[in-house]
Structure formats: C-alpha cells, structure tokens
Amino acid sequence: MSSHAPRKPSPAATGAAAANDAAAAPDLGERRLYLNRELSQLQFNIRVLDQALDERTPLLERLKFLLIFSRNMDEFFEIRVAGLKGQIALDHELLGADGMAPRQTLAEIGAIAHRQIERQYAILNERILPELAAHGIRIARRDQWAHRQKQWVRRYFREEVAPLVTPIGLDPTHPFPLLVNKSLNFIVQLDGTDAFGRDSGLAVVPAPRVLPRLIRMPDDITEGGDCYVLLSSIIHAHAEELFPGMNVLGCYQFRLTRNADLALDPEDVEDLALALRGELYSRRFGSAVRLEVADNCPKTLTAHLLKQFGLAESEMYEVNGPVNLARLFRIASKVNYPTLQYKPFVPALPKVLKHAEDLFAVIAKQDVLLLHPYESFAPVVDLLRQAAKDPQVLAIKQTLYRTGADSEIVDALVDAARAGKEVTAVVELRARFDEESNLTLASRLQQAGAMVIYGVVGIKTHAKLMLIQRREGSELVRYAHLGTGNYHTGNARLYTDYSLLTSDEVLCEDVHKLFSQLTGMGKMLRLRKLLQAPFTLKQGLLDLIAQEAANAAAGRDARILIKINALTDPKMIRALYKASIAGVRIDLIVRGMCCLRPGVPGVSEHIRVRSVIGRFLEHSRAYWFANDGEPRLYLSSADLMERNLDRRVECAFPIEGKKLQQRIFGALELYLADNVGSAELQADGSYRPVTRAPDEAVLDAQQQLLEKFCGTEA
C-alpha cells in the first residue's frame, strides 16, 4: 500500500477534531495559509522540466518536455512577470492572499528562474543532445563541420540568408533598432572604419524572421541519420561577410522578451475586432521584461544591451546554447524515430457510436460521454457536419474560444451557413495568443452568412457549448454538446477533456438561455441544471462544499474530489479549509497553480493536493461531492480562479446517472493512485514526487486509460 493512499478519519476522530478546531477558530484569512500564485505557476513549469530527465519517457518526448518548459517560461515572462513589473511601474502594487508584494515576488522568481534555466541548458547539453547524437540525430556545431559541410553552409548563407539580412551599424543616425518580441538577434563587436568613416564599433544583426531557425543538412554531406544546423550558427560563422573590410571581434546572439499582454479598455472600444487588430501589432513591441544572451558575451556588451532595454542585471539570463530553444520542436515533432517517440494510438469510439449513421437518433435515446484523447473527438465534428447537411436542422449556435480558422469545426459551420441554416457563433476574440486566428475565423464565418457575436464586453466567453435545433415532426427538438476543452481537433489529441452529447430537454433549454444572454440583452435567466459564471457557478460550488462540511459535522459520509488546472480563488480556498476543519476528506488534482496550502495542522490536515504530468496535458475539470451517498458531479470549463468565477462566462454541467458518474469517478481515483507522473504538494509549497513502495505495482494513470480505451501498451 502506498504511503499516499487516501485517508479516511474515523467518525469519532472527525467529531473530536471538529469540536477542537471549532473552539480554536483559526483565522482563515491568515497570509501563511496561502501560496503565491506566480511562484506556484513557476513550480508547475519546473515539474514539466523534470520530465526531461525521466528515462522511462522516450527520448524525443523528453526533448519536447524541455521545449515546452521554454514555451511556458516565455509566456510566464510575457504575462505574469510583465504584470508584476507593470504594477511596480505604476506604483499600484496589489497584494494577493499570500501577502507577498510584487517586488518580493519578482526577486524570488528571478532567483528560481535563473537556477532552472541554467539547469535546462545543462539537461539539453549534457543529456538530451548526446543521447540524440547516439541515435543519429545531431545538431552540428560550427567547430564540428566537415569541409563539405562548411562549403554547403557557406553557399546556403550566401544564397538564402545574406540577401535577407539587414545589419544595422550603431551610430547617431542609426540608433538601436526596435526589436520584435522574442526575435533572434546578434550584437556584433567591430574594429575598423567603414566607407563613410564610421567607427562606432557596434552593430546589431536581426535574424530574418522568414527563415527557419533549424535547417537539415543534405544526406550526401552527413554521416547518415538526421543532421541539423542552427541559423544562428550559420550567421555567426559568416558575420564578417556582413561587414566587408571590417574586423569582427565578436558576434553574440541575444533575444528580448517583451510584455505581450493586450491592454484594451472595453469602455473606450467601439469595434472590438478593429481595436484588437491594432493591439496585436503593439504586442510585438511591448515593454522589455527579460534579456537572454549567449553566456560568452562580454560584460561590456551585456551592459550596453541592458541599458538599451532598461533592464537590471538580474533580468538577464546567460545561456549556453540557442536563445530560441522552442525552435527545436522541428526535431521533436518532424522526425520519424518510433523507438524514441510515444507509440501512436487510435482514439476509441463508444460502442453505441461505432456503427451509428444517425447521431441524432443515438443522442435522442441516451447521453453520450467522451473522454478525450482516449475517445475520439470525431463524433463532435460529425454531429456538426450532419447538422450542416440535415434539412431538418434549422439553427446552430456555438461558442468558439480556441479553434483555428481552418478547423473542421469552422468548415462545418461555414457549410451550415451556406446551406441556409441560422448559424450563430460566439467568437471570443481575446483568447490569449489566439486573437489573430480568431479574427480570421470570425471573418470567414461572416462571409459565409453566419451571425458572429463577440460575447460580452469586459467578460471573456470561455464556456464550451454547441446547440442544434432540429424539426422532428411538429416539434422543435434540441441537441447539445457541452465540453471542458476547446473546439480544436488538434488539442483533442493532446489534451484530456470531457465531452457530453445530450438531448436532455432541461439541459438543452439551459444552453439555449445561456446563448440568449450572450447574444441579446436582458436580466439574468434562471437555469435549472447549469451553473453559470459569473452568476451562479461560484455560489453553487460554495454551497456544495458547505453541504459536505455539514455532512461531516453530522457524522455522515463526506468527501470532495476535484480535478482542475488551477486553484487561486481565496473564497474557494477558505471554503475548502472550512470543510477540512469539519472533517471532510478532500482530494484535489490540480495540474498547475495551487494557492491552497495543504497539511497545515488544524486547518488543512484532511486536504491532499496532487499534480499529474504526463504524455497528455491534463485539462479536464471535474467537481465530485459525496453528498451522503448520493453523489453530485459536475464537469466544467472553469477552474477555481477569480477570473473564471467572477469575470468570465463559464458553465458547469451535471453528470446524472450512476453509470456515467462512476466512469468519471473511476478515472479520478486512478489519478489519485498514479505513482508515475504524480507529485504531491507539501505544506511549504514544494512538490514531492509520489514514490512506490518496494512491493507496489507501477501505475501510470494515463497509460492505463490508453490501454483501457485504445489497447495501446507502453
């Protein structure tokens, strides 16, 4: 038995503890009870990096984890660090429940991030790249090029690179250029005087953004396998050709990370789409937040760069390798080395759908629950395609958050609109980093004749809903899809999410009312089954938690099991603390940020927090309550964050019927038993990997689900 097995306090112990704790009446607003959200997010990024060291994971997948860490850190600096710096700049420092000021948070972030980024490059250089080379996948450094490779690189530089490069000498008429966010650049130290008599000694070379950062060398000049060369190496090797007659004393790559959060004031915006197009350009040139530079760059040059960007030395990261590591995804994703990659799998179809030609007929008889990616997302797409062609279908309504302009979902909506259906799409233009794609898909839908709505001003529409209205005889019948993930077929292969296909009259009526609120105007409509943010979701969950606390205090069966991406809302945390004090056994599966501090005596002794990281991104949200033997279960698009509960349109939908409930509960219990990809949050905010007892079997929750649904073994 694992030392992390679920705990169930005896009724007597629970009652006594509850009485003692009630007498003590701990202050649940104390800062010590809350973890800092930024540092918690950083801890998640570190756990992702840790996966690059797990030798049970195929080598190319370990490389992916290392590169995902890079992407995560980019966004962390672009959004979270930029936000903290903005508060300081405006002298408007906000304290979270943990009480840590932005300046202190930034100092801790800097210390942790420097250690982890240095560790990342050590893992890359000392572990990943040598192992890849042993399997025939190499990134050839300049000092490793053979004669024929040097010739090929020179020709590539002269034919493909040099015509596109614009070297910029720095002097009074050529001030330091405005560099695009996260672009690859070089600072070059020069000696000599040019044709115009200039001798500033410095130049900047922005790498052409249209060129690939990683180039595969031809097979006839390599020793077999796959041999790549970095664009940065090519430019570095031929820097002198960019400055004829000058002596290049040094050439050093660097990259600047900027604030990439969009600042739109809803009260000042008349046309959201038009305003957003302007902001997307501005995002490329936001204020500087981080400088990455080659670790052999002289101090005089790094000092010059820091001064240009208005950054402190603590905001500089010296790296031993490419500054733009995410570009190595080409290796991780494009090569075909089956032994170094996860085994492919075919998502399953539920028996009821395997030979179904009419999805409406199936859904009319029973609810269909899908667990992606183990079960296919195709039925969701097929339902929309069938609706687009079905002459009995009159109207389709859908929310779109992250989808892609060329997705099958958008194709089906376009077909439906062109076929004369009433198509309404609620497109959330402000889905971070997908704004441009969403603007494109909105235009495409409008051109096809669909009605496109941009949601509610100042509140993002994050709920995942589809509603189809169909004439069947003399009646109008509704069918709905409700999900925890996005309408993105690519993500449905990589993210774990739930889909519910239903014709439940009450649930479909609730979905209809929710769409009416989004597209029209009026007072809040009463929903009978759905919990909806920003109106009833937060209070509904608080009530469910309070009911478990009351059940525990009365000696009845009480347990809470929640799976989410993040937990930061102080009110929700206080409610969970109260339930724990009352004796409720609480298991939280929180992938990323968690500001709740478990294991605090007298407060959170009955709370366990786990994070699971594996092949698939854990993205589903589930809320399960024991309810004294009559469980209540909701799936949702919402995490327990202030933004989700107070400032977004979200929904939580009930799963009714013991069979479907047990399917979800069984999967949640499987995650709690995982001893491969799990880490447990400690009271000090650190995470401890879950370890197996000597006689305990290996249990990988994601792999077990793959085997169960798809028959795929490790």
Beta bridge pairs of residue 483 = 464, 499
C-alpha–C-alpha distance, residues 410 and 427, integer Å? 11
138 labeled binding residue? no
- 418 marked as part of a ligand binding site: no
How far apart are the C-alpha atoms of 551 and 553, rounded to whole Å?
5
Q: Is 688 annotated as a binding residue?
A: no
Do 347 and 375 contact (CB within 8 A), yes or no?
yes
What CA–CA distance (Å, rounded) separates 59 from 639? 32
Active site residue 481: no
Q: Which of 120, 124, 88 lies closest to 106 in space, CA to CA?
A: 88
b (16+ CB within 10 A) / e for 530-558: bbbbbebbbebbbebbebbbebbbeeebb
Of the residues 4, 236, 372, 462, only one is catalytic, namely: 462
- Which one-letter amino acid corresponds to residue 708? K
- Does the annotation list 45 as a binding residue? no
Least Cα distance to 419 among 384, 458, 454, 455 occurs for 384
Rounded to whole angstroms, the Cα distance separating 581 from 548 reads 11
* Per-residue 3-state assignment (H helix, E strand, C coil) for 403-459: CCCCCHHHHHHHHHHHCCCEEEEEECCCCCCCHHHHHHHHHHHHHHCCEEECCECCE
| Residue 486: both structure tokens together | 């996005």
**Which residues have CB under 8 Å from 445's CB, separation 6+?**
410, 413, 414, 417, 423, 425, 427, 452
Dist CA 432 CA 437 (whole Å): 11
Question: Running DSSP on this structure, what letter comes out for residue 158?
Answer: I
User: Would you say 181 and 260 are in contact if contact means Cβ atoms under 8 Å apart?
Assistant: yes
Integer CA distances (angstroms), 119 to 37, 115, 257, 259, in order? 23, 6, 20, 25
Which amino acid does the sequence have at 294? A
Q: Which of 325, 305, 324 is nearest to 316 (CA)?
A: 305
In angstroms, the first-to-last Cα distance of the chain is 24
Asked if residue 112 lies in contact with residue 40, where contact means CB atoms within 8 angstroms, the answer is no
Q: Which residues pair with 461 in a beta bridge?
A: 649
Under a CB-based contact definition with an 8 Å cutoff, are residues 98 and 31 in contact? yes
The C-alpha atoms of residue 246 and residue 244 are separated, in whole angstroms, by: 5
Q: Is 591 annotated to bind ligand? A: yes
37-50 and 102-123 are packed helices; what angle lies between their axes, rounded to 10 degrees? Answer: 0
Tell me if 72 is assigned to a ligand binding site: yes
Annotated binding site for ATP: 72, 495, 591, 619
Annotated binding site: 72, 402, 432, 495, 591, 619
Cite the active site residues: 462
Annotated binding site for Mg(2+): 402, 432
